[in-house]
Amino acid sequence: MIYLDYAATSIKREEILREIFDNKEAFDGNPASTHASGRRAKAILESSRESIADSIGADPSRVIFTSGASESNNTVLASFRGSKLITSNIEHDSILNTVDKENTIFLKADKDGMISLEDLKEALSEDVKLVSLMYVNNEVGSIQRVKEIGEFLEDKDLHFHIDAVQAYGHIDIDVEKIKCDSLSLSGHKIGGLNGFGILYLRDDLGAFIRGGEQEKDRRAGTSYTMGAYSMARAFEKTKAERAKIKEVKEYFIERLKKTGIDFEVNGKLENASDHILNLYFPAFRSDFLLTYLDMHGVCASAGSACRAGSLEPSKTIMSMYDEYRALHSIRFSFGFTNTKEDIDKLIEILEEVKK
């Protein structure tokens, strides 16, 4: 199998799973318990919190463990329910399907997958209390100018939230430099366990899950120690793999150009994360091409995996371009298992389709 759908979820890292299972007793206890087993788990949990906080330039006390970025995004939006907010038209579904559309201003992304700071300035008013934007787009990989936006919003009476899921591990993140008030991450995108993420909060928004006193009374529920550990360890590995992932992506583009297959890049390569590549194939419908690739052992996608397996055209590509292009576009996303040999095999398969 050639797995090229890392933006949906990463292949799990066997070495991290082995570390967990080889030291299973250290993870067995409830970190909230005061006995020895609980203390061991608590030590791992807090050490992981420190590592994750350090990876985004944050104080560990401001990092809240959640079930993932969808929960984190929903938490921020719920805290501003009834308020006017600004987001873009190419955000993740956990934003787009949660906002009150009548109270939301949607900034339109251009064909590079970027929003205009001037459009944001024009849309801003004293009524706006939340601006929520994605750092790296999950479908085309465009890197939003969040530092520039954060500097502009810094002295405004509003909350600036960033969905940084696809940025994490692939580009440097520093919450102080980008001046965000909150930021969401998920561990499974980089090889951590599913069902774990974080919400960075510069200032508390109040308790969002009530029950026990976990996460300093902000988010109740038994702590997921294995999830925290796996995310912290996966970050170290992902950061070290950046050059390899970039090389594989560039090799794919280079080989594809030599095939004579008609294609165009969706977005702008010069301003995209190295692990995401979205391509428009005018001659092939994406549903056909995905099925063909799947039959030959290649995993890719036509867009976000959060549409429950749907093969509907990507709303992001439709927003940036048009429906025809969306119906003929494929997202390839790369990770630590991919090699140039994988790309050679993929090119062979694509050349067979061309025939």
Residue range 270-298: average pLDDT?
A: 97
Q: Can you tell me the distance from the alpha carbon of 292 to that of 98, in angstroms, rounded to the nearest whole number? A: 34
Final residue of a structural domain among 239, 266, 296 = 239
Q: Rounded mean pLDDT of 228-256? A: 98
Given 121, 222, 306, 312, the catalytic residue: 306
Q: What Å distances lie between residue 51 and 58, 90, 160, 186, CA to CA?
A: 10, 31, 24, 15
Co-location of 122 and 250 in the same domain: no
Helices and strands per DSSP (H, E), number in the chain:
15, 12
Same domain flag for 71 and 181: yes
Q: Which among 56, 52, 3, 301 is positioned nearest to 187, based on CA atoms? A: 52
Same domain for 70 and 151?
Answer: yes
Task: Read off the pLDDT band of 88 (50, 70, 90).
Answer: very high
Q: Provide φ and ψ at 66, rounded to 5°.
A: -135, -175
Whether residue 175 is found in the same domain as residue 56: yes
Q: Is 307 a residue whose pLDDT tops 80?
A: no
Same domain? For 233 and 132 the reply is yes
- Cross-strand bridge partners of residue 128: 84
Closest CA to 229 of 34, 42, 35: 42
Claim to verify: residue 189 and residue 301 sit in the same structural domain:
no
Report the pLDDT averaged over residues 308-312: 58
SS3 assignment, position 66: strand
Say yes or no to pLDDT of 151 above 80.
Answer: yes
The domain tally of the chain equals 2
State the Rg of the chain over Cα: 21
Active site residue 306: yes
Q: Does one domain contain both 146 and 82?
A: yes
Do 313 and 205 share a structural domain?
Answer: no
Q: What is the pTM of this model?
A: 0.95
Share of the chain above pLDDT 70, in %: 97
**Do 344 and 252 fall within a single domain?**
yes
Same domain, 283 and 170: no
Among residues 205, 239, 273, the one where a domain terminates is 239
User: Residue 317: which domain range?
Assistant: 2-10+240-354
- In angstroms, the CA 223 to CA 202 distance is 21
Pair type for strands 276-280 and 329-333: antiparallel
Q: What is the pLDDT, as a whole number, of residue 216?
A: 79
User: Could you tell me the pLDDT band of residue 308, with boundaries at 50, 70 and 90?
Assistant: very low
pLDDT confidence tier of residue 135, bands split at 50, 70 and 90: very high
DSSP code of 108?
P
Contact 94, 252 (CB under 8 A): no
For residue 329, pLDDT over 80 is answered with yes
Q: According to the model, what pLDDT value does residue 140 have? A: 98
Are residues 114 and 251 located together in one domain of the fold? Answer: no
Find the CATH number of the domain harbouring 44. 3.40.640.10
Average pLDDT score over residue span 229-243:
98
Mean pLDDT of 53-82: 97
- The region, left, alpha or beta by phi > 0 then psi within -120 to 50, assigned to residue 191 is left
Average pLDDT of the chain?
95
Cα 180 from Cα 57, distance rounded (Å): 12
* Whether residues 228 and 276 fall in one domain: no
| 329-333 sheet: strands from edge to edge | 264-265, 276-280, 329-333
**Residue tagged 């995310």 (tokens):** 231
**Residue 325's CATH number:** 3.90.1150.10
Residue that is last in its domain, among 180, 213, 239:
239
